[in-house]
C-alpha cells in the first residue's frame, strides 16, 4: 500500500461519469499546493480558514454545487458534490470558511427558508461571499441540545434574542449566524424551539475568541444581548426548530469529513520513505484502509438517502461515531511509529498538529455517548 493507492478513486470507485470531475479537482489542488496556495494539514476542514481559497473554489463552481441554478447555485448532484468534498478533504485543503454554509445552511434554507431568504443568501453562499456560523451549543449544557436557554421574544416588526452560544466555528468571520432559541415554553423540551438568521456584524452581538490547545482560533463564544432582528429572520416555522436542527445534523454527522479528517496524515505516512519496510506498520496501514473502505460506503449510503429527501438521523449518528473513532485511531497508529515534532517538517510536524486535534473528534457534532444512545434507541424500538 502506498500514498498513490490511497487516492480515493483507487480505494472505492464511483460511477465513471464522475471520474473527469475528480481528476479536475485533484489537478487543481495539486497545482495549488505546488504554487504555495496551501500546505496540506489534517483536520483542515475544521481549522483551515482561508476565505480567498474558498473564493477560488467558488470561481470554479465547487461551492454551492447542489444549490439550484435558480438560486445562484450550480444545480449539480449530491454525488458530484461528494466527490469534490472527498478530494478537498484528502488534500487537507483550508475549506473551513465556507464549509458550514455549504454543508448544512444552504440545504436548510432550501428546505425551510422563504423565497426572500433563498434569493438573498444562497447566491452569496455559492460565490463564497457569505459565510455562516451555527449557534447551537451553550455554556453548561454539554451535549444536551434540548436544554437551550437562549430566548427569542416577538417584538414589533421582529424578534429580540438573548443568550450565549459557545464552540461557534468561524463566527469571527461569518456574515450571519443561525441561532437556535426558545420561543415558547412547552412541556416537551423539544417543542417551542425556533431558528433565526442573525446577520453579522450586529451591534448587540459580541463575538469572543475561544483559543484551542494548539493556539488556533476557529471557535468562538457568541453573546446575544437583546439583539433585535427583522421578522424575516425567522428560519422555517415557529416552534419547528428541533425538527429542522435534527435534519441539519444528518448533513453534519454523515459527511466524508467525519471519516477523512486525518486522511492527509494517513497518506503522508503511507509514502515509502515514511512507512519503510516495517511489517507491523504495513499491517496497521492495511487494517486502517480496510476500515476506511467500509466507512466510506456507509457515508455514501447516507448521502444517497439525504439526496432522496430522507432524514436518516440514526445512520448519520453511526457514521459520525464510527468515523471519528477511526480518525483518532489513524493518529494513534502513526504515533506508534513516528515521533511527533511541532518544530519539524513533513510527517512529524503534521502528526504533532493532528495529535492536538484528536480530543475534539468525539465531541464536535455530538458526543460519542449521545450518538450511541441514538443508535441504541433505534435498535430497541
Active-site residues, by number, are 252
Which single residue is written with the C-alpha cell 489534517? Answer: 42
All 3 cell numbers of residue 244? 429542522
Question: Who contacts 210 (Cβ-Cβ below 8 Å, separation ≥6)?
Answer: 166, 167, 217, 219, 220, 221
Q: How far is CA 37 from CA 48, 52, 297, in A?
A: 12, 10, 31
Q: Three-state DSSP class for 299?
A: helix
Please state, in angstroms and rounded to a whole number, the distance separating the CA atoms of residues 288 and 311: 29
* Chain CA centroid to CA 370, Å: 18
Please state, in angstroms and rounded to a whole number, the distance separating the CA atoms of residues 299 and 381: 23
Please state, in angstroms and rounded to a whole number, the distance separating the CA atoms of residues 362 and 368: 6
All 3 cell numbers of residue 268? 503522508
Instruction: Count Cα neighbours of 256 within 13 Å in the Cβ-side half-sphere.
Output: 24
Q: How far is CA 17 from CA 64, 73, 85, 90, 345, in A?
A: 20, 21, 16, 20, 38
148 exposure class (CB count in 10 Å sphere: 0-12, 13-18, 19+): buried
List the alpha helices (DSSP H) in 144-270.
Answer: 241-254, 257-260, 263-269
Q: Is 113 in contact with 119 (CB distance < 8 Å)?
A: no
Beta bridge partners of 159: 154, 229
Amino acid at each position: 500500500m502506498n500514498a498513490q493507492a490511497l487516492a480515493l478513486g483507487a480505494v472505492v470507485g464511483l460511477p465513471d461519469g464522475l471520474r473527469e470531475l475528480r481528476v479536475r479537482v485533484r489537478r487543481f489542488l495539486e497545482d495549488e499546493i505546488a504554487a504555495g496556495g496551501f500546505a496540506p494539514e489534517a483536520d483542515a476542514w475544521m481549522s483551515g480558514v482561508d476565505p480567498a481559497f474558498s473564493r477560488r473554489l467558488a470561481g470554479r463552481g465547487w461551492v454551492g454545487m447542489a444549490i439550484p441554478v435558480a438560486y445562484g447555485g450550480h444545480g449539480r448532484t449530491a454525488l458530484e458534490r461528494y466527490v469534490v468534498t472527498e478530494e478537498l478533504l484528502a488534500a487537507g485543503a483550508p475549506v473551513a470558511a465556507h464549509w458550514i454554509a455549504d454543508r448544512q445552511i444552504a440545504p436548510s434554507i432550501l428546505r425551510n427558508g422563504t423565497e426572500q431568504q433563498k434569493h438573498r443568501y444562497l447566491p452569496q453562499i455559492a460565490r463564497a461571499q457569505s459565510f455562516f456560523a451555527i449557534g447551537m451549543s451553550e455554556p453548561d449544557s454539554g451535549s444536551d441540545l434540548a436544554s437551550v436557554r437562549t430566548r427569542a421574544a416577538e417584538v414589533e416588526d421582529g424578534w429580540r434574542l438573548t443568550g450565549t452560544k459557545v464552540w461557534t466555528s468561524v463566527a469571527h468571520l461569518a456574515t450571519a449566524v443561525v441561532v437556535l432559541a426558545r420561543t415558547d415554553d412547552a412541556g416537551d423540551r423539544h417543542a417551542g424551539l425556533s431558528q433565526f438568521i442573525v446577520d453579522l456584524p450586529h451591534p448587540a452581538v459580541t463575538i469572543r475568541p475561544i483559543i484551542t490547545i494548539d493556539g488556533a482560533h476557529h471557535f468562538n463564544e457568541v453573546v446575544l444581548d437583546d439583539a433585535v432582528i427583522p421578522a424575516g429572520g425567522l428560519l422555517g416555522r415557529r416552534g419547528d426548530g428541533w425538527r429542522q436542527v435534527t435534519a441539519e445534523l444528518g448533513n453534519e454527522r454523515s459527511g466524508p469529513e467525519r471519516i477523512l479528517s486525518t486522511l492527509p496524515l494517513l497518506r503522508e505516512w503511507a509514502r515509502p520513505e515514511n512507512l519503510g519496510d516495517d511489517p507491523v506498520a504495513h499491517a496497521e496501514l492495511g487494517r486502517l484502509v480496510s476500515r476506511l473502505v467500509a466507512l466510506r460506503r456507509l457515508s455514501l449510503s447516507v448521502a444517497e438517502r439525504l439526496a432522496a429527501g430522507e432524514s436518516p438521523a440514526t445512520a448519520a449518528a453511526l457514521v459520525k461515531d464510527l468515523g471519528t473513532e477511526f480518525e483518532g485511531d489513524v493518529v494513534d497508529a502513526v504515533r506508534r511509529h513516528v515521533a511527533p515534532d511541532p518544530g519539524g517538517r513533513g510527517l512529524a510536524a503534521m502528526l504533532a498538529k493532528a495529535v492536538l486535534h484528536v480530543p475534539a473528534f468525539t465531541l464536535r457534532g455530538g458526543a460519542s455517548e449521545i450518538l450511541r444512545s441514538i443508535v441504541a434507541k433505534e435498535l430497541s424500538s
